[in-house]
Chain A
Amino acid sequence: MTNKNTGHKLFQQGEDIHSSAINLHDIRNQFPILRQTINGKPLVYFDNGASTQKPISVVDAVSNFYTNYNSNIHRGVHTLSQKATVAYEKARETVQKFLNAKSKNEVIFTRGTTESINLVAYSLSKQQVKTRKKIVITYMEHHSNIVPWQMFCERNNYNLDVININQDGELIEQDIEALIDDNTLLVAFTHISNSLGTVNPVEKIMSKAKEVGALTLIDGAQAVSHLPIDVQELGCDFYCFSAHKLYGPTGVGVLYGRSEVLDLMNPFHGGGDMIKSVSFEKTTYADLPSKFEAGTPNIAGAIGLDKAIEFINDVGFDFIKKHDLDLFQYANDKLKLIDNLKFIGDAKHKTGLHSFTITNVHPHDLGTLLDEQGIAVRTGHHCAQPVMDFFNVTATTRSSYAIYNTKEEIDIFLEALKKSIQLLC
């Protein structure tokens, strides 16, 4: 298979992608940032849960937009504006196909997952809100899928119910059954936890939510780079993700919304592009998706996201899933052997990351020492303070993996980890 943009060969058709180191090498070659050294050591980038690196095709697409056809979209009659509009709307179609949405009008560009969730929390109409009295979330949500709902509940005099987790970092199934009831307006939950790596039982939650007629919002920020997403098959009302965790640019994200639900919602922001007509007496709103895209959007970001999805499609989820599993298992087996290391989250269905603590070693100190050895990991509460409280820790160290990471990098990480522990203990 050849990358359409770079002409780089990714792998041969029918080739065993795991037996061929050269394929991974070719993938890595598309990420110039990985060639550098940090503190004199080759960069090992294990902070992909926070943000992934960008292939050269994405960097080039963003640069090409600003170099050759930067212009505002829609309404412009000149060539550059038309070209920018075509590229921006092509990105929407690419996202539609990527998520298997019914219509491209169900794809709203936002600044990222956080804005996507806030858009829903602020735009549900009185007609929608008056029917029920509570929102259900889970214990393992990122703050961006907690706080907007707390604010929603305060505004609308709603209750917020929380599906609990067990010591392995899995949702408690009885809570799913008990808390999602016919008083539930919406169930908001993460597809893959950013702090635990747990892959949640989406089908089970969806089935219960549908049974009681509740809306569903899935935070796909962590999932979208690891799993193929089919929103029609999932049956969710909303699916949110950020481009920068999918090898795309920062500052752009997506809200998928089922058109029947989006149509009932109020606009999020008022301004240009989201109207049909404006007078001092009355303003009428544009149809989907413009109704939710007030003002000049992140045009370059959307164009970059288009290329990021093209890159993902070229590599393919068959490769991604196998590679994820391989790396995860390899790291898992070796991390387990480190004295006094405790996984925070040890779910049966887990992917993409390890979150852990080590007795008498604070994650921040460890993170700094690893950085000195060229290794980038994330340390802290990962914007999931309730999860930290549940496990009675203030912070964890999180190593999170991507398409370009290798087993050799895991070996380097483990050696550096041992060295750092020795210094700190």
Chain B
Amino acid sequence: MLMTFGDYYSDYLKPFAISDEYSLSQNDKKIIKIEKNNPLCGDKVTLYFLQDKQGKVTEISNHVEGCRLIQASANILCHTIMHKTVEEIKVITQVLEQKIFSDQKITISKNMQPWQYLWLSNEFPARLKCIWLPWELLYDYLS
């Protein structure tokens, strides 16, 4: 049976969409700020983060003016890349891109990490831009 968007949102994304764990709570001048909007819909995501000398992300938060999917994706991104190096982040982002923009049916498993929940969005092509926006923003910056 096909998963509905409502089920996908409720079962996988909602906890991240409504979480404020990674919402902007600091105003550190050292923090890197990057932002991107989707010109088709006007939604906008801003990421604030710090890296140590090795390039590992040591602090991260986000501010989203947009839908629940962008918010969930941005929070999952923050959750996922904390303490990761630039190379590790790039690998994760490349895998995510490959998964969400493919027609391949994703098999749901119990051991999925939150960022892997996003793979399932490939069943909702009209919303892929929402999921991809925060990741595209970070990847472009790191590249």
Binding site for B on A (CB under 8 A): 39, 362-365, 368-369, 371-372, 379-381, 385, 388, 394-395, 420, 423-424
Contacts and interface: CB of A to CB of B under 8 A. Distances in A.
B67 interface: yes
Interface in B1-49: 4-6, 9-10, 40-44
A371 B42 CA distance: 21
Contacts of B124: 368
Contact of A394 (B5, B10, B43, B127): B43
B127 A364 contact: yes
Contacts of B43: 364, 394-395
A361 B66 CA distance: 10
Contacts, number: 49
A364 B5 contact: no
- Top-8 shortest CB links A-B: A362-B67, A364-B67, A394-B42, A381-B42, A380-B41, A365-B68, A368-B5, A365-B67
Contacts of B42: 380-381, 385, 388, 394-395
B35 to A, nearest CB: 14
Given A365-B68, A368-B124, A424-B9, 13 more contacts: A362-B68, A363-B67, A364-B127, A365-B67, A369-B5, A380-B41, A380-B42, A394-B41, A394-B65, A394-B66, A395-B41, A395-B43, A423-B10
B130 A380 contact: no
Contacts of A423: 6, 9-10
Contact of A372 (B5, B40, B41, B67): B5
13 contacts: A362-B68, A364-B43, A364-B67, A365-B67, A368-B5, A380-B40, A381-B41, A385-B42, A394-B42, A394-B65, A395-B42, A423-B9, A423-B10
Nearest to B129: A364
B72 to A, nearest CB: 10
A395 B69 CA distance: 15
Contacts of A364: 41, 43, 66-67, 69, 127, 130
A318 B11 CA distance: 50
A371 B4 CA distance: 11
A147 B76 CA distance: 37
A380 B65 CA distance: 13
Q: Which of A362, A379, A388, A424 has the most CB of B within 10 A?
A: A362
B126 interface: yes
Contacts of B69: 364-365
A372 B2 CA distance: 12
Nearest to A368: B5
A424 B5 contact: no
A288 to B, nearest CB: 37
A200 to B, nearest CB: 24
Interface residues of B, number: 19
A364 B129 CA distance: 11
Contacts of A363: 67
A362 B40 CA distance: 15
A372 B124 CA distance: 11
Nearest to B65: A394
B66 A362 contact: yes
A369 B6 contact: yes
A194 to B, nearest CB: 15
Q: Which of A369, A381, A394 has the most CB of B within 10 A?
A: A394
B44 A372 contact: no
Nearest to B64: A362
Nearest to B43: A394
Contacts of B127: 364, 368
Contacts of B40: 380
Given A380-B40, A381-B41, A394-B41, A372 B68 contact: no
Interface in B91-143: 124, 126-127, 130
A39 B3 CA distance: 11
Contacts of B68: 362, 365, 424
A115 B84 CA distance: 50
Contacts of A362: 66-68
A371 B127 CA distance: 12
Contacts of A379: 41
Contacts of B10: 423
A394 B71 CA distance: 14
Contacts of A371: 5
Contacts of B9: 365, 423-424
A394 B44 contact: yes
Nearest to A394: B42
B120 to A, nearest CB: 14
Contacts of B6: 369, 372, 420, 423
A145 B127 CA distance: 28
A95 to B, nearest CB: 32
A297 to B, nearest CB: 29
A372 B4 CA distance: 7
Nearest to A381: B42
Nearest to B126: A368
